[in-house]
A and B are shown apart, each in its own frame.
Chain A
Amino acid sequence: MTHRIVPADPFSIHVPDAEIEDLKRRLQRTRFPNEPLGNEHWEYGTSLPYMERLVEYWRDDFDWRAAEANLNRFPQYRATLTDDEGEDHTIHFIYERGSGDNPVPLILTHGWPSTFREFLDVVDPLAHPEKYGKPGPAFDVIVPSLMGYGFSSLPRKPIGPGAIADLWHRLMTEVLGYDRYAAEAGDWGSFVTSRLALQHSDAVMGIHLTMLPLRPHLKHESQPPVTEEEGHWIAKMQKWWRQEEGYRSIQSTKPMALAFAVMDSPAGLAGWLADKYYRLGDTDKTETMEGMIARFPFDHILTQFSIYWFTGTINSANTLYKAGPAEGTGLLKPGEKVTVPTAYSEYPIDVLPDTPRSWAERGYNIVRWRMMDRGGHFAAMEEPELFADDVRDAFHEMGITEGTKAG
Chain B
Amino acid sequence: MSASKPVPFTVDIPQGKLDAIHAKVSAYEWHEMPEIDPGVDRWAYGTDMEYMRELCTYWTTKFDWRAAERKLNAFPQFHVEIDSQKVHFIHVKGSGSNPETVLMTHGWPGSVFEFNAVIEQLAHPEKFGGNAEEGMNLVVPSLPGYGFSGKPKKPIGPKGTAALWDKLMREVLGYDTYIAQGGDWGSVVSGWLAYEHSATKGGGCKAVHLNMYGVRPAALPETEEEKQWAAGAAMTFELESAYLRLQMTKPQTLSYGMMDSPVGAAAWIIEKFNGWSDRRGPDGKEHIENAYTKDQLLTNVMIYLVTGTFNTATWFYRGMFEEGGTSMAPGTKVDVPTGIANFPKEFLVFPPRSMVEKGYNIVRWSDFEHGGHFAALETGDVFADDVRAFVNQVKG
Spell out A's residues near B (CB within 8 Å): 29-39, 42, 44-48, 51, 154, 156-158, 242-247, 249-250, 252-265, 267-272, 275, 312, 315-316, 319, 322
B52 within 8 A of A: yes
Say yes or no: B268 contacts A46, CB within 8 Å. no
Contacts A250-B243, A261-B264, A261-B268 known; A272 to B252 CB distance under 8 Å? no
Q: B46 is contacted by which of A37, A247, A256 (Cβ under 8 Å)?
A: A256
Interface bits B249-277 vs A (CB < 8 Å: 1, else 0): 11111111111110111111001000000
Say yes or no: B254 contacts A264, CB within 8 Å. no
List the A side residues contacting B33 at CB < 8 Å.
256, 259, 315
Say yes or no: B261 contacts A261, CB within 8 Å. yes
Query: Which of B61-69, B284-292, B310-318, B382-390 interfaces with chain A?
Result: B310-318
List the B side residues contacting A260 at CB < 8 Å.
28, 47, 52, 261, 263-264, 266-268
Say yes or no: A33 contacts B46, CB within 8 Å. no
Say yes or no: B46 contacts A263, CB within 8 Å. no
Please measure, in the bound complex, the distance between the C-alpha atom of A154 and the C-alpha atom of B35, giving whole angstroms. Answer: 11
Contacts A265-B261, A272-B257, A315-B33 known; A246 to B245 CB distance under 8 Å? yes
Say yes or no: B252 contacts A35, CB within 8 Å. yes
List the B side residues contacting A38 at CB < 8 Å.
154
B48 within 8 A of A: yes
A320 CB to nearest chain B CB (Å): 11
List the A side residues contacting B260 at CB < 8 Å.
30-32, 261, 264-265, 267-268
Contacts A158-B34, A260-B47 known; A45 to B154 CB distance under 8 Å? no
Instruction: Closest B residue to A26 by CB, please name it.
Output: B260
Say yes or no: A258 contacts B250, CB within 8 Å. no
Contacts A254-B46, A271-B253 known; A32 to B259 CB distance under 8 Å? yes
A57 CB to nearest chain B CB (Å): 15
Spell out B's residues near A (CB within 8 Å): 20, 24, 28-29, 31-35, 43, 45-49, 52, 151, 153-155, 239-243, 245-261, 263-268, 271, 308, 310-312, 315, 318
Q: B267 is contacted by which of A30, A243, A249, A257 (Cβ under 8 Å)?
A: A257
List the B side residues contacting A242 at CB < 8 Å.
249
Say yes or no: B252 contacts A33, CB within 8 Å. yes
List the B side residues contacting A249 at CB < 8 Å.
241-242, 245-246
Instruction: Closest A residue to B246 by CB, please name it.
Output: A246
- 22 A-B residue pairings within 8 Å (CB atoms): A30-B260, A32-B256, A33-B311, A34-B311, A51-B256, A157-B34, A246-B247, A246-B248, A247-B246, A253-B242, A254-B47, A257-B267, A258-B257, A260-B261, A260-B264, A264-B24, A264-B28, A264-B29, A264-B257, A265-B264, A315-B32, A319-B45
Highest count of chain B CB atoms <10 Å: which of A32, A33, A156 = A33
Say yes or no: A268 contacts B256, CB within 8 Å. yes
Say yes or no: A272 contacts B256, CB within 8 Å. yes
Say yes or no: B271 contacts A271, CB within 8 Å. no
Please measure, in the bound complex, the distance between the C-alpha atom of A243 and the C-alpha atom of B154, giving whole angstroms. Answer: 18
List the A side residues contacting B271 at CB < 8 Å.
254, 256-257
Say yes or no: A264 contacts B45, CB within 8 Å. no
Please measure, in the bound complex, the distance between the C-alpha atom of A275 and the C-alpha atom of B32, giving whole angstroms. Answer: 25
Please measure, in the bound complex, the distance between the C-alpha atom of A260 and the C-alpha atom of B269, giving whole angstroms. Answer: 11
Contacts A33-B259, A315-B33, A319-B45 known; A264 to B264 CB distance under 8 Å? yes
B238 CB to nearest chain A CB (Å): 8
Say yes or no: A45 contacts B263, CB within 8 Å. no
Say yes or no: A267 contacts B256, CB within 8 Å. yes
Please measure, in the bound complex, the distance between the C-alpha atom of A83 and the C-alpha atom of B195, giving whole angstroms. Answer: 60
Instruction: Closest A residue to B257 by CB, please name it.
Output: A268
Highest count of chain B CB atoms <10 Å: which of A37, A257, A268 = A257
List the A side residues contacting B263 at CB < 8 Å.
260-261, 264
A48 CB to nearest chain B CB (Å): 7
Say yes or no: A275 contacts B253, CB within 8 Å. yes
Please measure, in the bound complex, the distance between the C-alpha atom of A315 and the C-alpha atom of B32, giving whole angstroms. Answer: 9
List the B side residues contacting A51 at CB < 8 Å.
256
B290 CB to nearest chain A CB (Å): 20
List the B side residues contacting A35 at CB < 8 Å.
252
Say yes or no: A261 contacts B257, CB within 8 Å. yes
List the A side residues contacting B311 at CB < 8 Å.
33-34
B168 CB to nearest chain A CB (Å): 23
Contacts A249-B241, A257-B46, A260-B47 known; A268 to B249 CB distance under 8 Å? no
Please measure, in the bound complex, the distance between the C-alpha atom of A39 and the C-alpha atom of B245, giving whole angstroms. Answer: 18
Say yes or no: B45 contacts A246, CB within 8 Å. no
